[in-house]
Structure 1
């Protein structure tokens, strides 16, 4: 038995009016296949190009180890030179990923390769474009973003699978309290419904993104990414329009993550285990 996932709708291009009416207002995802074909990045951005511009940079590296009290919220697991990392991606499958790589700060030359697609009607935060890299087979665990933003996610070099769930499905996803993640023992590509019975009720979306395609993820959407081949993506963000989401985002940014770091420091692994146990008991109780 598989998850209840429907394909994310696809369009070649889209007007501002249709994008705002059918997707932003209704909070429905969409893949826009040809939104960025006029970007220099569409023609130039691949792993070799990034290595040429940023190979000398030391970058934070993440893998798929479970959340631990030994590290702070979103703290990297190791680091290496970008050139070494890209060589590794090209050589063999790896679960090493780069997460939230600050494009403006680290490689300002890349800013010349793209423009913000303001014509679709969203006002984007111009100082927050981030790059995400992954090796073939690597996965980004199921989570939602701390700021609950409307996100445009542009993919480059290769192919990645994206599984999305709207916020309405949170009650089925074994959300870990005081966190932005679902229980990390869940395999969303091959779920064990005997162990995680509430997942049978969750309704979500799936798509595979290829080079140059754009995924719109509405506010607070859960997402898990699997790099089917080595590649990278860029995200730009627009603040949440729903008042409740803006309030939650403010809490997440200014209170939740610091509370979680404090509890990790003071209670250690017991705090992590407590949260994981609560994720299971609360979800099963709600759906029992």
Structure 2
């Protein structure tokens, strides 16, 4: 048995008006295949190029170890020179990933390789973020703290992506006071005996290739697995729907601070309690259904 996933619609190109009407307003995902062929990045950006322009940079690395109460917010698990990291990606599978690497700050010359596309939404121009991963590395199922509209541009290789909207929360074993599901769920091959509520979840899937863009609507859950070594860039626009904007403000100013406080007070007991509640909350809703 597999997850109930439909393929994300694909278009070769799209106008601003078409995007707003068919995808932004109804909050549906889409893959745009040939929108950035005129960017220098389309032909230049690969792992070797990144190694050439950013090889001396020390980069923060993350793996798939479960959240620990001792971990600070987005605290890296290791650090390495970018040149060594690219060599590692090409040499062997590795769990180490880079995420939220701001190229504006780290390698300003990369800004010359792309422009900010006009999709009819005001993009945050100070936050172009890069994400890197080795073969079979993945991100836990999560959604972003600001519930932003996200445009995800992929470079080199292939990447598997699974999405769910916020209406699927009751089926996903969401961890309370957090932005993640249970970290021991393998969304690429889920165990339905252990996680029966996942049978009821309805989502989306795609595989992204070089130069393709995925639009993820506000607050969409996303799981990303690197089929091959590669990297992506995300551009984001503020949540427009009042409910989502309210959630974003709550997450940033209340939920995150409360969670950090409880980690300091209760330590690992807080993390363990949240993981148990993810199961009990979901199973209780499953029984009611």
TM-score with structure 1 setting the length: 0.98
Q: Matches of 1:171 and 1:17 in 2, distance apart?
A: 34
**Equivalent-residue separation in structure 2 for 1:237 and 1:26 (angstroms):** 18
CA distance in 2, matches of 1:254, 1:218: 22
Pairing 1:53-132 to 2, within 5 Å after superposition: 53-118=53-118, 120-132=119-131
- Cα offset for 1:167? 1.0
Q: In structure 1, how many angstroms separate the alpha carbons of the residues matched to 2:286 and 2:26?
A: 26
Q: How far off its partner does 1:73 sit? A: 2.3
Q: For each residue in 1:203-246, what CA deviation from the matched residue of structure 2 results, as whole angstroms up to 9, or x when unmatched?
A: 00110000000000000000000000000000000000110110
Distance 1:67 1:139 in 2: 15
Give me the whole-angstrom Cα distance separating, in 2, the residues matched to 1:6 and 1:53. Answer: 39
Aligned equivalent of 1:205 = 204
Match of 2:26 in 1: 26
Contact 1:51 1:83 in 2 (8 A): yes
Deviation at 1:265, TM superposition (A): 1.7
Give the deviation of 1:259 after TM superposition: 1.7
Please say if 1:157 is aligned against 2:150.
no
Runs of 4+ in 1 over 6 A off after TM superposition: none
Q: 1:235-254, aligned counterparts within 5 Å?
A: 235-254=234-253
The residue aligned with 2:50 is: 50
Equivalent residues in 2 for 1:244-283, closer than 5 Å: 244-283=243-282
Q: Deviations over 1:89-118 (max 9, x none)?
A: 010111100010011111111000000101
The answer to whether the Cα contact below 8 Å between 1:69 and 1:269 also exists between their aligned partners in 2 is: yes
| TM-score computed with the length of structure 2 as normaliser | 0.98
- Return the alpha-carbon distance in structure 2 between the equivalents of residues 113 and 196 of structure 1: 44
Q: Give 1:18 shift.
A: 1.2
Quick one: distance in 2 between partners of 1:106 and 1:257? 26
| 1:255 Cα deviation from its structure 2 partner | 2.1
Question: CA deviation digits over 1:136-178, x for unaligned, max 9?
Answer: 1101110000110000000001110000011111111010011
The secondary structure found in structure 1 opposite 2:141 is strand
* RMSD of equivalent CA atoms: 0.8
